[in-house]
Chain A
Amino acid sequence: MDANTQLRDAALPPGFQDDTNAAAAEATYKNPPPEAPETIRTRSWVIASFWIVAIFLGLPLWHATTTIYRAPLPMQEMQNWSEGKLCKTEFPLLVEVEAPPSFPDAESLLKTVQHALDDANDFAAHKPHHLRLRLAAKKAKSATEDPKADKDENVACLLRLLPDSRNGFNHTVHSSSRTVDIHYPPPSSSSQSSISAGLAKFVAEILEVLFWQEQELIEHLLLPQTSNPGSLNALSSQSVDESRDKKTPPARPRALTADINRRMSRVVKYSPSYHLTFSLFTATSTPASWDIESAISQYLTPLLSALSSISNFTISTQVQYYASISSSVTPTYDEQLHAWTLKKEDLSSFINSAEWPLASISNDPNLNFILYIPHPSITPLTIPSALHSDSFLLPQWGGVTILNLDQNPAEHLSHVTLKPAMETFATHLLALLGAPPHPASLPIRLDSLTRQRSAEVLVSASSTLGSLQRLVNALPSISIPATVSTSVKDSIRHLSLACEELRKGSFVKALEMGRVAQEEAEKAFFERTMVAQVYFPDEHKLAVYLPLLGPVSVPLVLGIFREVKRVLAERRTRQGIS
């Protein structure tokens, strides 16, 4: 026994030490006869057939069914819009000046005024407004009576120069047309030029006054867009407000910004249609009815139809008896005024939202107008600290008017009784919609509202596009359906149309286009199917594939592995033979 066998013997367990045992095992163990080549060929074909199906059918199907469809989006264009590169928002305002035939040199007057205005504009670098003056044609005289004709010509304002010897320079604003009368002392032959200079200065001032509020507001709206495009990440005007708060340039007077902020905070979010709810809440059982239909048609419908180019309105009304104000509000009696008074703090909780049925079923934003008739025991009820003693406005929600009736109220409120209330509601409505409180001319205010809203929808639509563009860039795994692509293209098309209309000065059309652009942009942004896969990281995909495909692929992989091994072994033996 040499050292080798000794070692082996030591390693083997007892019973295996006997050499004869091993020899016997070797004798019974016989190598299987080699497989027939035909069997081997069949096996190769079987394995190949599985792999052929898997590769030529499985892989293409896998690719086709799991590729995320991303419709092409005009990304650069979207970014440009959101950065305000593509559209320099301009509001060219055409002002017509109508001079009496006796007026000596109207042309030169206009030139002077235009110069003065342009100089003022140069100071404030990028004001979107451009006032342009034009001498009215003679036929325009008749057009002033017809506001529609006004609109067609897109005249923002008509100045009528009227000689008035009584009291120097002054002006009157017509409340129902775009006409502003300018009275000037009739020139005496000696001081011709000085009158002309004084008048030019006065006209320029008037125009500044007429449009400064709107100008400030629109500048305000456009500000975040032009100053810092990167921070634009939300669509609502609310966040535009916020970002604007931070970026107010120091040059701007604080009081003005605060005023604009206050006004903007009241305004409801723009929508192409609103629902108005007029409610009569009475603390007792009287009055039992009100003449709301004729009151609305008489006092409100003209305003609503004037507003129809901006938004549409639907109206519902209701009457509620024994409606008590919130228990937290307790009016106090004021001896001096001989009236019950509400403090300013009470107003915010005046609405008894727990008991008053004010929920709207409409899809459109709802504006509530409440006519409240207090209980006789606390009549008259006033709000001495407020601007108006009997009404107040709830920002973004609606308006409330308190109607104090005498001790024996009528069963029915006639529309004459309702008139002051309806007028207050009209004022509230304009304030809620965002119309500037000045000047007195309603058409000019509505025009101003139109411009303001177009600026708003343009900003909103382009920032939505920008957000979508950043979202798509940030999340490469989301799918982009074709509908999103068409919506985006539609939105961009309407944006540029709106921009063009703005440049032409037809603001109603611009608003219309901008509205479509905004709707399409939001439709694209809020597409539901887009975000379905956002929360699906790649490791989750492994968890989806592996439980089924893992076990299935084991025999396939092993099969091919064995085949490869066999082929290699075969080649080696063949080489060994040769």
Chain B
Amino acid sequence: MDRRCLLVIGAGILLRLVLFTAFPSLPTTLAQRVEISTPVTSYKRLQEGIYLYTHGVSPYDGGVFHQAPLLLSLFSILPPSAIVTNILYVLADLLSAVSLVKIASSGVATVTPQHVSPRKDNSWPPWATAAAFLFNPFSIATCIARPTIVFTNCIVLHAVAAAVQGRRAPAFVSLAMASYLSLYPILLFPPLLLLTYDCSKTSPKPSIQAFSAVTTVLFSTVLMIYFKLSHLLTGSWEFVASTYGVHLLLPDLTPNVGLWWYFFIEMFDSFRAFFLCLFQLHLLIYVPGICLRLRKQPLFALITLVGISSIFKSYPAVGDTGLYLSLLALYNHVFATMRYSFFLAAAVLYATFLGPAFYYLWVYAGSGNANFFYAITLVWSIVNALIVADALYAVLRDEHETERPELIGKDVVQI
């Protein structure tokens, strides 16, 4: 890690500490924003759970707290002071930035065993990737509002960093932790498996079947250990229904930036179960296709799946988008081939500023209604989907140009 990296990371941490100390009311204000905190990540609900837990009441009584039990034990051993908590969140972001630097320095984004990007010289240095995360407004807001998605993101990045170094055990122990904390990272298992396989340096290389069998066993064993620990901590299996059940069945229809809440408010009761299955399946259906198509660049398959789940999961927040955009910065060498960069950047800004305004009009001013906010979440989701699609296009074109160098610079027409 060079000096520039350290400088950028130091600056990012300083910025967060300054925001925490200079604006003491900022964390509370941001924690109440529905765009940042969701029922399954909210810091306020976490505090409620900790209170119940430390007073000997089951934290899942009352249906407010929907987060994993291990988070409870982490926060209950910490001294109950705001400074310590804030520092913990800043440390998580620090670890995320370090992981990003590691991923960027490994160069997996440009050079994989099956694929070498013709644009590999255009790629940004590692410090720039770290900066894209540390100075990303979505990441900053998420860190200040302190939802627990910060830890999930940090652990996902750590898992990817371990994977690009070919360290299987840390990668999958981390991914198991991320899945345990917020369920949807389990979708990243196949691309992470491919990434680890491609990057593993053991020789001779085992066959992919043997490799994935061992990894699956490892992953599920670790996951089971987490579950058993949680069971020991809370004394019952109640937490399964109140954490993963909430992710899967969407009992809490608090508005968020996702597509689910409005849809399921309007849904006929008899079709609710069907559409819940449909929406969950919709997330799942992309996994095999993308892993197959992007077999040469598993890291990008993983990033695309992060992007897809940040749009279509049941309780998304801007923190998920922040993670996706930071990871996408690893592929800045293909940005040149993206077709709608300007439009997408403008639309992201548009949705970011109009979203809170419309929410205010609906909830506080009363001059708008739920459709205002829903419309802007639709725009936000469309923009994100377009970013995912355009980035996918850019990477596929890059891949295509390695096979057909004579087409560099030609327009692509669909036949």
Whether A and B are associated in the same complex: the answer reads: yes
Q: Is A167 an interface residue (CB 8 A)?
A: no
Residue among B276, B278, B289, B403 making CB contact with A46, cutoff 8 Å? B289
Given A49-B288, A66-B274, A532 contacting B269 (CB threshold 8 A): yes
Give every chain B residue within 8 A of A65 (Cβ-Cβ): 273-274, 276-277
The interface bits of chain A over 29-70 (1 if a CB of B lies within 8 angstroms of the residue's CB, else 0) are 000010010000010011001101110011001100110000
Please, how many angstroms separate the alpha-carbon atoms of A33 and B400 in the complex?
A: 13
Give every chain B residue within 8 A of A536 (Cβ-Cβ): 268, 270
Taking the closest CB of chain A, its distance from the CB of B250, in whole angstroms, is 14
Given A544-B271, A549-B278, 17 other A-B contacts at CB below 8 A? A33-B404, A42-B295, A49-B292, A50-B288, A53-B281, A53-B284, A53-B285, A57-B281, A58-B277, A61-B274, A61-B277, A61-B278, A65-B274, A66-B271, A532-B270, A536-B268, A544-B268
Give every chain A residue within 8 A of B274 (Cβ-Cβ): 61-62, 65-66
Whether B293 and A36, one on each chain, are in contact in the complex, defined by CB atoms closer than 8 angstroms, is no
Please, how many angstroms separate the alpha-carbon atoms of A161 and B292 in the complex?
A: 104
Residue among B268, B269, B273, B403 making CB contact with A36, cutoff 8 Å? B403
Taking the closest CB of chain A, its distance from the CB of B281, in whole angstroms, is 6
Given A65-B274, A532-B269, A53 contacting B292 (CB threshold 8 A): no
Q: Enumerate 7 A-B pairs (CB-CB under 8 Å) in ascending A order.
A: A42-B292, A50-B289, A52-B288, A58-B278, A62-B277, A65-B273, A548-B278
Taking the closest CB of chain A, its distance from the CB of B200, in whole angstroms, is 23
Please, how many angstroms separate the alpha-carbon atoms of A94 and B158 in the complex?
A: 90
Give every chain A residue within 8 A of B285 (Cβ-Cβ): 50, 53-54
Q: Is A533 an interface residue (CB 8 A)?
A: yes
Please, how many angstroms separate the alpha-carbon atoms of A561 and B368 in the complex?
A: 45
Please, how many angstroms separate the alpha-carbon atoms of A143 and B281 in the complex?
A: 77
* A62, closest chain B residue (CB): B274
Whether B270 and A533, one on each chain, are in contact in the complex, defined by CB atoms closer than 8 angstroms, is yes
Taking the closest CB of chain A, its distance from the CB of B231, in whole angstroms, is 28
Which B296-352 residues have C-beta < 8 A from chain A? none
Which A residues form the contact surface with B (CB < 8 A)? 33, 36, 42, 45-46, 49-50, 52-54, 57-58, 61-62, 65-66, 532-533, 536, 544, 548-549, 552
Please, how many angstroms separate the alpha-carbon atoms of A533 and B274 in the complex?
A: 15
* B268, closest chain A residue (CB): A544
Please, how many angstroms separate the alpha-carbon atoms of A58 and B282 in the complex?
A: 9
Taking the closest CB of chain A, its distance from the CB of B147, in whole angstroms, is 29
Query: Which of B275, B282, B285, B404 has the largest count of A CB atoms less than 10 A from its CB?
Result: B285
Taking the closest CB of chain A, its distance from the CB of B117, in whole angstroms, is 18
Residue among A53, A61, A544 making CB contact with B288, cutoff 8 Å? A53
Taking the closest CB of chain B, its distance from the CB of A32, in whole angstroms, is 8
Give every chain B residue within 8 A of A552 (Cβ-Cβ): 282
Please, how many angstroms separate the alpha-carbon atoms of A72 and B270 in the complex?
A: 20
* A60, closest chain B residue (CB): B277
Give every chain A residue within 8 A of B276 (Cβ-Cβ): 65
Taking the closest CB of chain A, its distance from the CB of B1, in whole angstroms, is 37
Which B366-415 residues have C-beta < 8 A from chain A? 403-404
Taking the closest CB of chain A, its distance from the CB of B374, in whole angstroms, is 15
Please, how many angstroms separate the alpha-carbon atoms of A53 and B190 in the complex?
A: 15
Query: Interface of chain A, helix or strand or loop or mixed?
Result: helix
Please, how many angstroms separate the alpha-carbon atoms of A549 and B274 in the complex?
A: 12
Enumerate the 4 nearest inter-chain pairs by beta-carbon distance, A residue then B residue, closest first: A49-B288, A65-B273, A65-B274, A61-B277
Give every chain A residue within 8 A of B288 (Cβ-Cβ): 46, 49-50, 52-53
Whether A58 and B281, one on each chain, are in contact in the complex, defined by CB atoms closer than 8 angstroms, is yes
Please, how many angstroms separate the alpha-carbon atoms of A488 and B132 in the complex?
A: 67
The interface bits of chain B over 147-191 (1 if a CB of A lies within 8 angstroms of the residue's CB, else 0) are 000000000000000000000000000000000000000000000
Taking the closest CB of chain B, its distance from the CB of A30, in whole angstroms, is 11
Please, how many angstroms separate the alpha-carbon atoms of A532 and B271 in the complex?
A: 12
Please, how many angstroms separate the alpha-carbon atoms of A61 and B270 in the complex?
A: 14
Please, how many angstroms separate the alpha-carbon atoms of A36 and B285 in the complex?
A: 26
Please, how many angstroms separate the alpha-carbon atoms of A328 and B281 in the complex?
A: 71
* B272, closest chain A residue (CB): A65
Taking the closest CB of chain A, its distance from the CB of B401, in whole angstroms, is 14
Taking the closest CB of chain A, its distance from the CB of B261, in whole angstroms, is 16
Taking the closest CB of chain B, its distance from the CB of A556, in whole angstroms, is 9
Please, how many angstroms separate the alpha-carbon atoms of A42 and B269 in the complex?
A: 40
Please, how many angstroms separate the alpha-carbon atoms of A36 and B400 in the complex?
A: 11
The interface bits of chain B over 225-247 (1 if a CB of A lies within 8 angstroms of the residue's CB, else 0) are 00000000000000000000000
Whether B292 and A45, one on each chain, are in contact in the complex, defined by CB atoms closer than 8 angstroms, is yes
The interface bits of chain B over 213-224 (1 if a CB of A lies within 8 angstroms of the residue's CB, else 0) are 000000000000
Give every chain B residue within 8 A of A46 (Cβ-Cβ): 288-289, 292-293
* A45, closest chain B residue (CB): B292
Taking the closest CB of chain B, its distance from the CB of A343, in whole angstroms, is 57
Residue among B271, B284, B295, B404 making CB contact with A57, cutoff 8 Å? B284
Taking the closest CB of chain A, its distance from the CB of B42, in whole angstroms, is 29
Taking the closest CB of chain A, its distance from the CB of B260, in whole angstroms, is 12
Whether B281 and A61, one on each chain, are in contact in the complex, defined by CB atoms closer than 8 angstroms, is yes
Taking the closest CB of chain B, its distance from the CB of A553, in whole angstroms, is 12
Please, how many angstroms separate the alpha-carbon atoms of A49 and B288 in the complex?
A: 6
* B276, closest chain A residue (CB): A65
Please, how many angstroms separate the alpha-carbon atoms of A62 and B271 in the complex?
A: 10
Give every chain B residue within 8 A of A54 (Cβ-Cβ): 281, 285
Please, how many angstroms separate the alpha-carbon atoms of A45 and B294 in the complex?
A: 12
Please, how many angstroms separate the alpha-carbon atoms of A66 and B288 in the complex?
A: 26
Taking the closest CB of chain A, its distance from the CB of B79, in whole angstroms, is 47
Whether A49 and B289, one on each chain, are in contact in the complex, defined by CB atoms closer than 8 angstroms, is yes
Please, how many angstroms separate the alpha-carbon atoms of A42 and B404 in the complex?
A: 17
Taking the closest CB of chain B, its distance from the CB of A532, in whole angstroms, is 6
Please, how many angstroms separate the alpha-carbon atoms of A407 and B105 in the complex?
A: 111
Please, how many angstroms separate the alpha-carbon atoms of A436 and B275 in the complex?
A: 60
Query: Which of B270, B271, B276 has the largest count of A CB atoms less than 10 A from its CB?
Result: B270
Please, how many angstroms separate the alpha-carbon atoms of A574 and B166 in the complex?
A: 45
Give every chain A residue within 8 A of B292 (Cβ-Cβ): 42, 45-46, 49
* B279, closest chain A residue (CB): A548
* A39, closest chain B residue (CB): B403
Please, how many angstroms separate the alpha-carbon atoms of A57 and B288 in the complex?
A: 13
Taking the closest CB of chain B, its distance from the CB of A551, in whole angstroms, is 12
Taking the closest CB of chain B, its distance from the CB of A357, in whole angstroms, is 40
Give every chain A residue within 8 A of B289 (Cβ-Cβ): 46, 49-50
Please, how many angstroms separate the alpha-carbon atoms of A45 and B292 in the complex?
A: 7
Taking the closest CB of chain B, its distance from the CB of A576, in whole angstroms, is 22
Give every chain B residue within 8 A of A58 (Cβ-Cβ): 277-278, 281
* A53, closest chain B residue (CB): B285
Please, how many angstroms separate the alpha-carbon atoms of A536 and B267 in the complex?
A: 13
Give every chain B residue within 8 A of A33 (Cβ-Cβ): 404
Query: Which of B273, B277, B282 has the largest count of A CB atoms less than 10 A from its CB?
Result: B277
Please, how many angstroms separate the alpha-carbon atoms of A58 and B270 in the complex?
A: 17
Taking the closest CB of chain A, its distance from the CB of B297, in whole angstroms, is 13
Query: Which of A49, A533, A552 has the largest count of B CB atoms less than 10 A from its CB?
Result: A49
Taking the closest CB of chain A, its distance from the CB of B349, in whole angstroms, is 27
Please, how many angstroms separate the alpha-carbon atoms of A79 and B284 in the complex?
A: 49
Give every chain A residue within 8 A of B404 (Cβ-Cβ): 33
* B296, closest chain A residue (CB): A42
* B404, closest chain A residue (CB): A33
* B286, closest chain A residue (CB): A50
* A540, closest chain B residue (CB): B268
Taking the closest CB of chain A, its distance from the CB of B228, in whole angstroms, is 28
Give every chain A residue within 8 A of B268 (Cβ-Cβ): 536, 544
Please, how many angstroms separate the alpha-carbon atoms of A200 and B277 in the complex?
A: 81
